[in-house]
Structure 1
Amino acid sequence: MNNTCSREEMDEVLMLAEKDPQKLYGALKEHWQGLQPAKNGEILSVAPVFDQAASIEEAAHAQTQQDTGSDVDLRRKKIGRRYRMSIAAIAVITIGIAAYFLNHQSADRAVAQRQVVADVAAPAGTKATVRLANGQTIVLDSLLSGTLAVQEDAKLIKNADGQLVYEAQADPADHTPVYNTLDNPKGSRVVDMTLADGTHVWLNAGSSITFPVAFTGSERRIQLKGEAYLDVSHNMARPFIVQTGDLMIRVLGTGFNVDAYGGTEPVKVTLLKGAVKLSNKNTSSLLKPGQQASVKEQISVSNNVDMDNVLAWKNNKFIFDNSTIQQIMRQLERWYDIEVVYQGVPTTEAFIGSISRDVKLSQILSLLSETNAVHFEQQGKKVIVKR
């Protein structure tokens, strides 16, 4: 295997090839496994085996002609043909072993490289920012706890546990409110914030809310894009209003989830406690606890909603309950900040399952692939969905 061999060594190899080719194969295979794999795409060749064998056979052939004449020459030609046939057999075996191990070593290295490059980890922290009314942007993950901003009637504080809190003056002045915007992009963990009135907001990845630094006037109004869970501080005299597109959600004191990412999906409002009134330019509806409203042009209401499913994102889980592959991939797209491309018509199969949002992307794709209803190809942060 180091491109050199003596006549005696070649004879031993040829005899082994004739008498016990399986044993030769095993010996070559064991030797090949001990070799270092080719580097930088180098191709290992068995051509030197042919060259060495040809030299031996030609020398033997010439010597025989000088010593014994044509009759022996004919026998030597037969022996030479045996050599050539055996050498060809050795070459085939060697090439087969070489191809097998090179292909598998290359494949193993390629798979390992793809896994390193392609796998995407769950968000480790927040990428959220707060855009202040004066245009200043505060990047939350880069700041220690403490006071982040002081604005007229309130202070923005980041607690030691990462929660954002607006602390308003006891009696803020009744003037035109100053608005800030909290942006939580794709690939970011859930942001936990308490507004100046005590309302608690959890904001999912790929979402934003615009809100007053301090609430003044006869109502408390915020704007939402994406998904949030709100636990609204009770105040009969000052109703709380969430505006998302054309939909207005009016509450007094309640806990509810709003899924308003837009696109082809309807806005979904799910009520856990209290009461909310929904209205758009076409219609209005009153929700009771346990109900969910699905809103496009009209409002349709469902009863006995699975709250674990609705609040899975807030509880750091993915729950798929008869979900389409498009619905699942939209969630993964926001959480892992990936690009999703469909190859062909997506499967119509429905998927059921639950998994932590802390796992790597490849683990979820692997579980989905085990259904054989869908398959994936990862290219960095691009995922191709196949039937």
Structure 2
Amino acid sequence: MNEKDYIAHLFRKFIREECNEHEIEELLKFLQEEPKFNPLPEDDKDRARIAPEELFKIQSRIEARYANLRELTVKETYKPKQKVRLRKNYLFRITAVCCLTIMLFGSWWFFIKKQAGQSTELLHDQGVVLELQGEKRVLKEEDSLVITSKDEKVLGIQKGNYLDLTKIDAALANEKRTLNLEVSYGKKFNLLLPDSTYVYLNAGSSITIPLVFDNHSRDIMLYGEAYFDVKHNAHKPFNVQTETLQVQVLGTEFNVLSYKEDKEVKVALLQGKVALKNQENKERLYLAPGELATYNKNGKHLKITTEDLSYYTAWKEDKLMFKNMSLTNIFKKLERQYDVTIKIEDAKLAEKKFYVHFKAEPLVTILEYFSKAYGLRYTYVNDKTIVITSKLKT
């Protein structure tokens, strides 16, 4: 191990607070002599393992430690002169070390940012927002509680990212109230509807449902993406209304993809049978299991194809699967999943298509894959904005 590798090793230990006094002295001495030395070289293997949002937290913690030490320095000035003089050298060394930490961390973080690179109506950074009668409340993942209305009637039971609406107070049966649930970017949420239909909501989606279904049908409104496992009821069709399509079923499993900003609406049928109604021209088509319906918003027409539907339901299992998809659309999905904004500066690059699969992993790992496999460069402008600046290898 040469001297610079050894210093980089000491720096990592210093970040983890594992350096002894002698090692800190070595680190200080070297960096005083070589102020431009970057402790983490460009090919550092640890870079891709650390999500930038985590580094922001580390930076805040270091700055807080430094602030505490500055307080200690002020307090020491009230002690007898001799003790103050003795402690000043000690505190000066500690303060210098903390300043060094901030400078090194800033350099490291700048380096990583430099390298590492719902529609807008939906709330960002709010998690899951439930709205009833104009009142909004945020459902936190760590909560387990009974959700009640303003008049203290039970709406449902929340357990983490799951809400059971089958326990609604019987007194609500005669009241026509609707409930709206918004899931922000970076989140997912599951619902058990009053009829025992199970709904998986993807990031950046919202659903509007009546607290009690009427006697003739079960009607809901969806913006975004959801997977439905519908409870069979031959006498009450289950209707999913999107901006452009109506999906009608009796009992089945299907996925609806209908984000406002997307050019197409897609319905994937896994089990049962569904009827699709085009709101524009009242065209009606039927889907069989294994089929995908695609509605083009510009051309206003429906087409049905037979597809591998795992590409359209993988999100439910925290997987990302992209089949012959443009980089623009891939990054649009990543924006929803990780609550970030990704800007592609090269128009030709944006339209390049890929077949790629990812498991649940940090966004920076996915970006590293594109960087290493295709020469794509990315830059974190801040913890929520990423700019793509390079072209793909030809």
Mark yes or no: TM-score above 0.5.
Answer: yes
- Three-state SS of the structure 2 residue aligned to 1:314 is helix
- 2:191 match: 193
Whether 1:163 aligns to 2:97 is no
For 1:143 and 1:378, locate their aligned partners in 2 and report how far apart those are by CA, in whole Å.
29
Indicate conservation of the 8 Å contact 1:154/1:166, yes or no: no
Query: How much does 1:154 deviate?
Result: 5.9
SS of 1:102's equivalent in the other structure is coil
Does the residue aligned with 1:330 lie in a helix, a strand or coil?
helix
Any conservation in 2 of the 1:175–1:216 contact (CA below 8 Å)?
Answer: no
Provide the alpha-carbon RMSD of the alignment.
Answer: 3.0
How far apart in 2 are the matches of 1:105 and 1:265?
46
Alpha carbons of structure 1 residues 169 and 262: separation in structure 2 relative to 1, 3 Å: closer
What is residue 207 of structure 1 aligned with on the other side?
205
Provide the C-alpha distance between the structure 1 equivalents of 2:318 and 2:40, rounded to a whole number of angstroms: 38
1:293 corresponding residue in structure 2: 293
TM-score normalised per structure 1: 0.67
Measure, in 2, the Cα distance between the counterparts of 1:372 and 1:143: 39
* Residue 90 of structure 2: aligned partner: none
Do residues 249 (structure 1) and 251 (structure 2) align?
no
Corresponding residue for residue 320 of structure 2: 318
Is the alpha carbon distance of 1:115 and 1:356 closer, same or farther for their aligned partners in structure 2, counting shifts above 3 Å?
farther
Q: How far apart, CA to CA, are the structure 2 residues paired with 1:141 and 1:168?
A: 20
Q: Which residue of 2 aligns with 1:376?
A: 378
After TM superposition, give the deviation of residue 333 of structure 1 in Å. Answer: 0.5
Question: Which residues of structure 1 form unaligned runs of 5+?
Answer: 1-31, 39-43, 45-97
Equivalence for 2:10: none
Check whether the contact 1:156–1:165 (CA below 8 A) recurs between aligned residues: yes
Tell me the amino acid that sits aligned with residue 366 of structure 2: I
User: 1:232-258: per-residue Cα shift (whole Å, max 9, x none)?
Assistant: 111111111000012111111110000
Whether contact under 8 Å (1:185, 1:207) holds in the other structure is yes
Q: Which amino acid aligns with 2:229?
A: D
Amino acid at match of 2:31: P
User: Are residues 149 and 260 of structure 1, via their aligned partners in 2, closer, same or farther at CA, if it must alter by over 3 Å?
Assistant: same
Which amino acid is 2:164 matched to? Answer: V
Give runs of aligned pairs for residues 319-334 of structure 1, distance below 5 A: 319-334=321-336
Aligned to 2:215: 217
Identity score, percent:
29
| Counterparts in 2 of 1:162 and 1:361: CA distance versus 1, 3 Å | closer
- Tell me if 1:112 matches 2:112: no
Aligned length: 287
Say whether residues 1:37 and 2:35 are aligned partners.
no
Match of 2:36 in 1: 102
AA matched with 2:363? L
Q: Tell me if structure 2 keeps the 8 A contact 1:191–1:204.
A: yes
CA distance in structure 2 between the aligned counterparts of 1:115 and 1:258, rounded to whole angstroms: 41
Pairing of 1:291-370 with structure 2 (within 5 A): 291-296=291-296, 297-303=300-306, 305-347=307-349, 348-357=351-360, 359-370=361-372
For residues 379 and 152 of structure 2, the distance between their equivalents in structure 1, rounded to whole angstroms, comes to 52
Cα distance change, pair 153–240 in 1 and its aligned pair in 2 (3 A): farther
Deviation at 1:301, TM superposition (A): 0.5
Tell me, in whole angstroms, the C-alpha distance in 2 between the residues paired with 1:176 and 1:149. Answer: 15
Aligned partners of 1:131 and 1:182 also within 8 Å? yes
Q: For residues 168 and 360 of structure 1, what CA distance do their matches in structure 2 show?
A: 36
Instruction: Name the counterpart of 1:78.
Output: none
Deviating beyond 4 angstroms after TM superposition, the runs of 4 or more aligned structure 1 residues are 105-111, 115-120, 150-154, 168-176
Say whether residues 1:226 and 2:224 are aligned partners. yes
Cα shift at 1:211: 0.2
Tell me how far 1:288 sits from its aligned partner. 0.4
1:343 touches 1:384 (CA, 8 Å); kept in 2? yes
For the pair 1:279 / 2:282, whether they are aligned, the reply is: no
Find the aligned partners of 2:377 and 2:169 in 1 and give their Cα distance.
Answer: 57
Q: What secondary structure does 1:313 align onto?
A: helix
How far did 1:107 drift? 6.9
Query: What stretches of structure 2 of length at least 5 have no aligned partner?
Result: 1-25, 43-103, 118-124
Deviations 1:81-101 (A, max 9, x none): xxxxxxxxxxxxxxxxx6xx7
Q: 1:154 to 1:300 in 2, by over 3 A?
A: farther
Aligned equivalent of 1:385: 388
1:322 CA displacement: 2.1
Cα distance change of structure 1 residues 251 and 143 upon mapping to structure 2, 3 Å threshold: same
Whole-angstrom CA distance in 2 between matches of 1:223 and 1:253: 17
Relative to structure 1, the CA distance from residue 202 to residue 384 in structure 2 (aligned partners, 3 Å threshold; closer, same or farther) is: same
Residue 113 of structure 1 deviates from its aligned partner by 0.9
Q: Does the CA contact (< 8 Å) of 2:172 and 2:212 recur in 1?
A: no
> Is the alpha carbon distance of 1:264 and 1:142 closer, same or farther for their aligned partners in structure 2, counting shifts above 3 Å?
closer
CA distance in 1, matches of 2:191, 2:165: 8
Q: CA deviation at 1:117?
A: 6.1
The aligned residue for residue 84 of structure 1 is: none
1:149/1:155 contact within 8 Å kept: yes
